[in-house]
Amino acid sequence: GGSDGPTPITLGFNPVAKNKADAVTVPAGYTATVLYALGDPLTAATPAYRNDGTDTDFANRAGDHHDGMEFFPLNAAGTARDAAGSQRGILAVNHEAITDQFLHQAGVTARPRPAAEADKEVDAHGLSFVEVQQAGGRFAYRRDSAFNRRITPLTPIQLNGPARGSALLKTKYSPAGTQTRGTINNCGASVTPWGTYLTSEENWNGYFTRSATDDAARGGSAAPSVVSLVRYGKAQGASSRHGWETAGADDRYARWNISQTGTSADGSDDYRNEMNTYGYMLEVDPYDKGQAARKRTALGRFAHEMGVFGPARAGKPLAVYMGDDSRGEYIYKFVSAATWSDADANPANRITTGDKYLDNGKLYVAKFNADGSGQWIELTLGNATIAGYSRYRFADQADLLVNARLAADAVGATKMDRPEWCAVHPVTGEIYVTLTNNSNRKVEPSSSSQHQVDAVNPRSYTDAPTATSSSGNVNGHIVRLREAGNESGATTFTWDIYLFGAEAGMDPARINLSALNPENDFSSPDGIWFSRKTGLAFIQTDDGAYTDVTNCMMLVAKAGQVGDGAAQTINYQKADGSTLAVQTRVGARPTTQNLRRFLVGPVDCEITGITETPDGRTIFVNIQHPGESVAKADLADPSRYLSHWPGNAGYGAGGAAARPRSATIAISRNDGGLIAADGDDVL
């Protein structure tokens, strides 16, 4: 490999059929084993998980809703990083959210929430770091490892970058605006070129509440902080997801109520700014517990799905590609001020290397043009359109970064169909972004929250195979970009749509534009990731539209490159009888030869999070929230649970009647070969 084009690797497994089994299905010749599930103890002193709602001490256990993940290799002795170590390593795992009913014996108690329940729920969020080791061809986690660590929504975190110390980040907890407590709703994740973990804060706004009269307390609906709160989904009177603010007067509960209660000018006597300390990319050094994790404010504040680095080339700046996962939000790029030095690939101090590359740089937002070109627009007060924006007056660059969505609005960036994961092809350097679905994408928008079909978000339809009316982008798609000159700092790019999700039977002229067949059809792409060893793409789904037929899944692809397909026009009939013609750009249509289904998960789960050992012979995949749809009234009757995985696969207490648990699985090929590949070719 290494040339500019498709790799010689081909797919070498039998496709897995769509199914609704309460099990993980992988191809013949592969073995999937459960490695690390909700509640698993992370110290020798922590009791085994009973999985009946009576367990406590989640700050010393695996959290819930496993999501983005990375493998940080160790040497054979387990004492230090070894870039090639494939027998032993630290798994860093995001715990995005919780299935709250299953965390308590009789389910969730109504508000005011008991402190013991709130404490458990808070601690089940955040990140975990757990050492895993292979023995006899099978990975297991080490309960007693000194690398095991939890970061929860209460762990002290450093605020770094241009917004550090800004008035917008001052709280009663950190009047200087330089620290916050914890991280929450961590979604996708990646590894930095210097070997640290880069994780994301996605739906953090849902955890906070605001009183119904908070606008007036802040100076009225036109006050800058109110405009910001509304743009970030927190209108006055909005309630919190779990009601933790009702659990007691202690600041660790009160902080979730961001109503203005103090009288200071800058917010340093209450928690009115607490939500401004969430919504960032967060960097952690998994190898060194002594280093404080950093929120990197230079990368902007929004519903960060994930950030992934473009190719690191000596003497060139580094680029980080990022999606904001909400309907009609944007794709962003950060470009470092520092240029890459290969000496930083294994530095003496990893987290201060992060300071060097991630605390100074430029933030851009993407604008897609119908002709297949695009622009990266820098978000800076040097842009007169941003400086003169009538809806919001930015005080300084810190304000702009904290309110990046408003700056992106000002420059007319392209509203996308929910940007989820980003991935960079290891050979071509092209950037892939999943757009999971968008119920607000319309042929004829009728409100400001709806977005008209355009070249890069061209579909709106119902999920009935032959219907012609418009109810949004039901099944999602995957866009890809090539930077001009393949330069990380480029301000222009070209793009096409690599794949359109669809059911195989749907209309090929308007919906199934990628001509998917029963062996590779899918809906709602979310995770996307390339094996660094084989260059194969792994695509994971978080779907509600096709789940009448199949549980969520993972496919493997050998991807081509931007421009390998053709332009296509979709004709929509408008209400007045006229036609709206939308021209889009469809990548080369896949066949089963270069796209096929590798895995189907258990009932009512999402497949998300994937990483590999450096030798490419084990992959780790996360099964998130199996059987999450459960009513409190049904907790006492296990026959009412939608899933019993992984208890029904022999993992942990409870067996076939177990409460379901989010978990990490390890997958290997029975002959020891490269995952999903045919033969043993590597890049």
- Residues near ligand FEO, by CB under 6 A: 96, 187, 202, 305, 325, 420
Length of the chain: 683
Residue 245 binding target from Ca ion, ligand FEO, none, CB below 5 to 8 Å by type: none
Spatial CB neighbours of 234, under 8 Å, sequence gap ≥ 6:
205, 208, 210, 258, 275
Tell me the closest approach of the beta carbon of residue 203 to Ca ion, in angstroms.
9
Q: Which is nearer to ligand FEO, 201 or 399 (CB)?
A: 201
Q: Which is nearer to ligand FEO, 473 or 668 (CB)?
A: 473
Q: Which amino acid is at 365?
A: V
378 CB burial (10 A radius; 0-12, 13-18, 19+): middle
Residue 87 binding target from ligand FEO, Ca ion, none, CB below 5 to 8 Å by type: none
Spatial CB neighbours of 487, under 8 Å, sequence gap ≥ 6:
316
Instruction: Say whether residue 612 binds Ca ion (CB under 5 A).
Output: no
Q: Which is nearer to ligand FEO, 361 or 501 (CB)?
A: 501
Q: Which is nearer to ligand FEO, 163 or 187 (CB)?
A: 187
407 SS3 class: helix
Q: Which is nearer to ligand FEO, 22 or 70 (CB)?
A: 70
Q: Which is nearer to Ca ion, 186 or 436 (CB)?
A: 436
Which range touches Ca ion (CB under 5 A), out of 85-93, 329-337, 535-543, 650-658?
Answer: 535-543
Supply the DSSP string of 602-669, one letter for each residue. -TT-EEEEEEE-TTSSEEEEEEE-TT----GGGTT-GGG-S--TTGGGT-STTGGGPPP--EEEEEEE
Per the listing, tokens 């998994």 go with 286
Q: How many CB atoms lie within 10 A of CB 47?
A: 12
Tell me the closest approach of the beta carbon of residue 546 to ligand FEO, in angstroms.
17
Question: Phi and psi dihedrals of 181, rounded to 5?
Answer: -105, 115
Which range touches Ca ion (CB under 5 A), out of 79-87, 145-153, 174-182, 419-427?
Answer: 419-427
Per the listing, tokens 């493998």 go with 71
Spatial CB neighbours of 110, under 8 Å, sequence gap ≥ 6:
none
540 within 8 A of 527, measured Cβ to Cβ = yes
Residue 202 binding target from ligand FEO, Ca ion, none, CB below 5 to 8 Å by type: ligand FEO
Residue 273 binding target from ligand FEO, Ca ion, none, CB below 5 to 8 Å by type: none
Supply the DSSP string of 446-462, one letter for each residue. -STT-EE--SSS-----
Which among 300, 226, 311 is positioned nearest to 2, based on CA atoms?
Answer: 311
Element (H, E) at 120: helix 115-123
Instruction: Say whether residue 543 binds Ca ion (CB under 5 A).
Output: no
Instruction: Say whether residue 526 binds Ca ion (CB under 5 A).
Output: yes
245 SS3 class: helix
Which among 407, 424, 328, 423 is positioned nearest to 363, based on CA atoms?
Answer: 407
Residue 437 binding target from Ca ion, ligand FEO, none, CB below 5 to 8 Å by type: none
Tell me the closest approach of the beta carbon of residue 305 to Ca ion, in angstroms.
6
Report the C-alpha gap between 102 and 554 in whole angstroms: 26
Q: Which is nearer to Ca ion, 196 or 436 (CB)?
A: 436
Tell me the closest approach of the beta carbon of residue 154 to ligand FEO, in angstroms.
21
Tell me the closest approach of the beta carbon of residue 605 to Ca ion, in angstroms.
10
Tell me the closest approach of the beta carbon of residue 535 to ligand FEO, in angstroms.
25
Supply the DSSP string of 490-516, one letter for each residue. -SEEEEEEEEE-B-TTS-TTTT-TT--
Q: Which is nearer to ligand FEO, 305 or 430 (CB)?
A: 305
Element (H, E) at 119: helix 115-123
Q: Which is nearer to ligand FEO, 199 or 494 (CB)?
A: 199
Which among 31, 18, 58, 43 is positioned nearest to 662, based on CA atoms?
Answer: 58
Tell me the closest approach of the beta carbon of residue 219 to Ca ion, in angstroms.
36
Residue 496 binding target from ligand FEO, Ca ion, none, CB below 5 to 8 Å by type: none
Minimal CB distance to ligand FEO: which residue? 187
Instruction: Say whether residue 119 binds Ca ion (CB under 5 A).
Output: no
Among positions 245, 274, 329, 420, the unique one binding Ca ion when judged by CB under 5 A:
420
Tell me the closest approach of the beta carbon of residue 508 to ligand FEO, in angstroms.
28
Tell me the closest approach of the beta carbon of residue 420 to ligand FEO, in angstroms.
5
Tell me the closest approach of the beta carbon of residue 65 to ligand FEO, in angstroms.
9
Residue 483 binding target from ligand FEO, Ca ion, none, CB below 5 to 8 Å by type: none
Instruction: Say whether residue 542 binds Ca ion (CB under 5 A).
Output: yes
For Ca ion (CB under 5 A), the number of binding residues is: 4
Tell me the closest approach of the beta carbon of residue 542 to ligand FEO, in angstroms.
7
Task: Dig out the tokens for 592 from the structure.
Answer: 């089963």
258 within 8 A of 271, measured Cβ to Cβ = yes
Q: Which is nearer to ligand FEO, 92 or 226 (CB)?
A: 92
Q: Which is nearer to ligand FEO, 203 or 246 (CB)?
A: 203
Tell me the closest approach of the beta carbon of residue 624 to Ca ion, in angstroms.
5
Q: Which is nearer to ligand FEO, 202 or 399 (CB)?
A: 202
* Site residues (vs Ca ion, CB under 5 A): 420, 436, 526, 542
